[in-house]
Homo-oligomer: A and B are copies of this chain.
Amino acid sequence: MIRHKPTIIDVAKRAGVSTATVSRVMNGEALVKDETRQMVEDAIAALGYRRNYLARSLVTGKSGVVGVLIPDVTGPLYGQMARGIEDVLIPLGLHSILVSDNRDPQEEERAIGLLLERQIDALIIIGSYISDASLAQLISPDFPLLLLQREQVSLNSPYISLQLDNDQGVNEAMQYLYEMGHRQIAHVGGLRYDGERRKVVYEAFLRARGLEPFTLASDGTEEGGYQAADKLINKKPEVSAVFCINDRTALGLYHRLQERSVRIPEDISVIGFDDLPFAKHLAPPLTTIQQPARLMGQRAAELVLDLQAKSEGRQFSLSPQLMKRQSVKSIG
């Protein structure tokens, strides 16, 4: 005897009620007599009935899914953000569909299209590279859209934007180095968007104090940091502290510095950005600026779900936190 998956009709028949009543029970509505409810629940249990959320979505018009465009789940920070989003979705019975866009505008466009076909209820785009025009064209003005970690966007539709407060983070770190007596502070930069901003703030900080910035261009990877270390030692041996664009860069720098027997922090202080899991376990533990990535994900989800069709586009930002560890030494 072949059995197809039981539907709401099967349940209704078995319980001797109409599908409407079953539906009401499934959705926990109040207006069902206890007795009836019990019968329905028994039927559900007996049949092993499980509601078809697709059919439900079709009529309610809510898929219960929010799309998330992410550069790469593999990145520790992005993973955290994805997790943060999930944190708020799951308890609500919602789900997220993650798509890695590989920082490719083409792929992003396709991905957004597919997500929209799936009738997602909202869309969170993390650090995207898609053009404003494409975005505007793809997404209707009243669609709940949230841009996470993306530069200011000139969309006239109401969208929400959430970013890390880079300025605050960098200033705090620089202030710390400054207070520890450092005056010759180098920067290993790189990275689009965030990176550019951080560099600007770094330079402004020094210039405001009559100091000369010294920036080494890099690519945000360990290799970049590794190479930067050599350049630093060769070109600016008098530098007493380095502010790295991120922890990965700092890790490469550590590596090369240690190979060349430059001691951290005795000979040179190092400060990173991100606070990746390994940062506090390096030798010495890396002082760095923590990105509240998971929290950002949570905030993002909360914001995008609350978005009312009429609400105006708004900007939000979250503060990073300086994690003081042993890679910075007081001098002078």
Taking residues whose C-beta sits less than 8 angstroms from the other chain, chain A's interface range is: 35 or more
Could you tell me if B72 and A83 are in contact, using CB atoms closer than 8 angstroms? Answer: yes
Could you tell me if A97 and B95 are in contact, using CB atoms closer than 8 angstroms? Answer: yes
Is A200 part of the binding interface, using a Cβ–Cβ cutoff of 8 Å?
A: no
Taking a contact as CB atoms closer than 8 A, the residue among B72, B76, B86 that contacts A99 in the complex is B86
B-contacting residues, A298-328, CB 8 Å: none
Q: Nearest-CB distance from A192 to chain B (Å)?
A: 20
A114-B93 CB under 8 A given contacts A58-B55, A73-B79, A119-B54: yes
Could you tell me if A95 and B99 are in contact, using CB atoms closer than 8 angstroms? Answer: yes
0 or 1 for each of A67-111: is its CB under 8 Å from B? (1 = yes): 000001111100110110010001001011111100000000001
Q: Nearest-CB distance from A3 to chain B (Å)?
A: 9
Could you tell me if B99 and A97 are in contact, using CB atoms closer than 8 angstroms? Answer: no
Binds B, one of A28-36, A122-130, A160-168, A253-261: A253-261
The residue on B at minimum CB distance from A223 is B281
Q: Nearest-CB distance from A258 to chain B (Å)?
A: 4
Q: Nearest-CB distance from A22 to chain B (Å)?
A: 15
Complex CA–CA separation, A294 to B72 (angstroms)? 12
Could you tell me if B119 and A52 are in contact, using CB atoms closer than 8 angstroms? Answer: yes
A-B contacts besides A55-B58, A95-B118, 4 pairs, CB < 8 Å = A52-B117, A53-B119, A95-B97, A258-B283
